[in-house]
Amino acid sequence: MRTVSLQEIAQHNKKDDLWVIIHGKVYDLTKFLPEHPGGQKVVLKFAGKDGTKTFDRFHPADIIQRYLSPDVCIGEAEVNNSGEQEPEVETEEDKRVRLAREKMPRLDEMYNTFDFESVARNILKADSWAYFNGGANDEISMRENHNAFHRIWLRPRVMVDVSKIDMTTTMLGDKASMPLYISATALGKMAHPDGEKALAVAAGKRGVIQMIPTLASCSIDEIVGARVHADQTQWFQLYVHKDRRREKDLRQKYVHEGPNEFQDEEINREGGAATAMSGIIDNTLNWNDLAWFKSITKLPIVLKGIQTKEDAVLAARYGCAGIVISNHGGRQLDFAPSPIEILPEIMSALKQEKLENIMEIYIDGGIRRGSDIFKALALGAKGVGIGRPTLYAMSGYGAKGVQRLLELYQNELEMCMRLMGTPTLADIKPEMVDIRNLKDHFVANPTDYLANLSYEKMVPRGNLSKL
Ligand code: HEM
Ligand SMILES: Cc1cc2nc3c(=O)[nH]c(=O)nc-3n(C[C@H](O)[C@H](O)[C@H](O)COP(=O)(O)O)c2cc1C
């Protein structure tokens, strides 16, 4: 590999001729730039320079080998012996974040998921907060995901011995301390320097399953290595790469030692990233491909992103071990329905086709309370996934924050089960929830500012002053 001088690298500092140093190697990112899912601006900032520090804040070192062809590597960058380092300057934003962190409440002062969210809003940099908290377009689906739970009421039963509550369960055959798992969320290091490793630790300590994202900011090896016990279950969320051999390689590497489940997923169209990701993701993926996935793995395949009863029935017919009813946290198609709203119709369609017992049904989106878990279980889910809450908890408090968050979910579900008269998960039944209003949507009309603010109000004639 040739050594490239800093002077030569500095000359390739334009959009149409772009070299960047990452971990001592020089890469020609000219062709990749328009495809970068994080946008062009962030990469262009390092045109002809060393981008390692920022790159490491978001990406695992192996992302380059995973997504770029080897010929983009020009050589090794000459070592900078000049002693000249760009001085670290604290920006206004850094200062705001530093001060907010100094005033952060203690972890034992966090009492529910919303507490973590409000802390995260203050202590995260604006770009990270926007990435985590945002949804597609007008964020109607994102908000609806949680709001829909407000339209389900509970029908508590009394005179039941609830001295012991057991919420342990299995998911795809593996034990879990409660019917909740940590869902895949990309770029965990934006929340905390330990990224997805912190989630692995918290999941292991609380006995819950973690789904590792394809676009994790730590390498899969690091996340698997962070497990607290050797038999800790991890699932893997897979964005299918255009080059299918990569999925096969991944499976061969991890099937014995690492993530226990191998998850397939429909193409994610998160925000503007969708177009850019099309360079990486195979958007020809369709139902017939499932046969190929089944031929390369014996692990259960779960489809995440099911949003209609028709697709749920197809997933069962195509032999999926499970589905996750999900609109990806309202980050893709605005006005996609909330998963909890379509869960009952999916269950009844599966029952009608006699397919309800052949796969496990999970849902995610807007699960913020123990009672939300209860409602989902009552309507037929085997378990629920959480996305943003773990990112918020990790932002402020790392792995310990996520442990506390999981403990709060567990405590709330325990209290809900006790007050509902359901000592075990098997006691939770559909008739314990009232879903008569679930389908009601009250759509807010756009405010007519012209009528409300500019024009004189109409008043009854009798009230007009007599001039
Ligand atoms: C100096 C080089 C790079 C820098 C500074 C950088 C920085 C970033 C940043 C800041 C984001 C997040 C943007 C947001 O707020 O949504 C991002 C996203 C992303 N980057 Fe990079 N990046 C670099 C190189 C690369 C390379 C070489 C690859 C892959 C080969 C890559 C793959 C991705 C992916 C897949 C995402 C999207 C994750 C998602 O939205 O879910 N990046 N990058
Ligand atoms: C910041 C962020 C990144 C996400 N990245 C991914 C991803 O890479 N792959 C994926 O399958 N889902 C991803 N999701 C969706 C989650 O897995 C999950 O479906 C969703 O967050 C659940 O909704 P909730 O955030 O209301 O709990 C992401 C969600 C967020 C908030």
* pLDDT tens-digit readout, 199-257: 999 999 999 999 999 999 999 999 999 999 999 999 999 988 766 656 666 655 665 54
State yes or no: pLDDT of 442 exceeds 90: no
> Are 157 and 19 part of one and the same domain?
no
Report yes or no on 444 lying in a domain: no
In-domain check, residue 153? yes
Which residues are near ligand 1 (CB < 6 Å)?
20, 22, 36-38, 42-43, 46, 51, 54-55, 58-59, 63-64, 67-68, 127, 131, 186-187, 215, 273
Q: Which domain holds residue 44?
A: 3-77
Q: Is residue 118 assigned to a domain?
A: no
**Domain assignment present for 354:** yes
CA-atom Rg of the chain in angstroms:
25
For 280-309, what is the mean pLDDT? 92
- Min mean pLDDT across 18-32, 66-80, 410-424 is at 66-80
Q: Is position 104 within any domain? A: no
Q: What is residue 135's DSSP assignment?
A: -
Residue 57 domain-assigned (yes or no): yes
Count the Cβ atoms, other than its own, within 10 Å of residue 191. Answer: 30
User: Considering the domain boundaries, does residue 117 fall inside one?
Assistant: no
β partners of residue 20: 27
pLDDT at 74: 95
Number of domains the chain contains: 2
- Structure confidence at residue 360 (pLDDT): 98
Report whether pLDDT(87) > 80: no
- ipTM for the predicted complex comes to 0.89
pLDDT confidence of residue 454: 77
My answer on whether 34 and 156 are in the same domain is no
Q: Is 149 found in the same domain as 51?
A: no
385 conformational bin, left if phi > 0, alpha if psi -120 to 50, beta if neither? beta
Q: Which two tokens stand for residue 141?
A: 């689906």
- Give the residue with greater pLDDT, 335 vs 270: 335
> What CATH number did the domain enclosing 51 receive?
3.10.120.10
Residues 289 and 407 in one domain: yes
Of 348, 343, 399, 389, which Cα lies nearest the Cα of 366?
A: 389
Q: To which residue do tokens 């607290």 refer?
A: 228
| Residue 24 pLDDT | 94
Indicate whether 256 and 393 sit together in one domain: yes
The pLDDT, as a whole number, for residue 84 is 65
**Nearest atom of ligand 2 to the alpha carbon of 145:** 26
Ligand nearest to the CA of 214: 2
Query: Are residue 170 and residue 22 in the same domain, yes or no?
Result: no
Domain termination residue (choose one: 77, 105, 120):
77
Q: Tell me the CA–centroid distance for residue 152 and ligand 2, in Å.
A: 24
Q: Which of 31, 57, 77 is a domain's end point?
A: 77
Question: Are 41 and 138 in the same domain?
Answer: no
Cα–Cα distance, 203 to 406 (Å, whole number): 8
pLDDT at 269: 29
Regarding whether 62 and 153 lie in a shared domain, the answer is no
pLDDT tens figures, 366-385: 999 999 999 999 999 999 99
Measured CA distances, 223 to 198, 204, 263, 458 (Å)? 9, 11, 16, 65
Mean confidence (pLDDT) of the chain: 90
Q: Judge whether 416 and 374 are in contact, CB under 8 Å.
A: yes
Token readout for 291 is: 């046969």
142 and 227 assigned to the same domain: yes
Question: In angstroms, what is the span from residue 38 Cα to ligand 1's centroid?
Answer: 4
User: Does 155 map to a domain?
Assistant: yes
Whether 279 shows a pLDDT value over 60: the answer reads no
The CATH number assigned to the domain holding 322 equals: 3.20.20.70
CA distance 302 to 311: 13
Decide if pLDDT at 109 tops 50.
yes
Give the closest residue to 9 by CA, choosing from 33, 27, 32, 23. 27
Residues 421 and 345 in one domain: yes
- Whole-number Å distance, alpha carbon 209 to ligand 1 midpoint, is 26
What gap in Å lies between CA 2 and CA 190, rounded to an integer? Answer: 34
- Evaluate if residue 57 carries a pLDDT over 50: yes
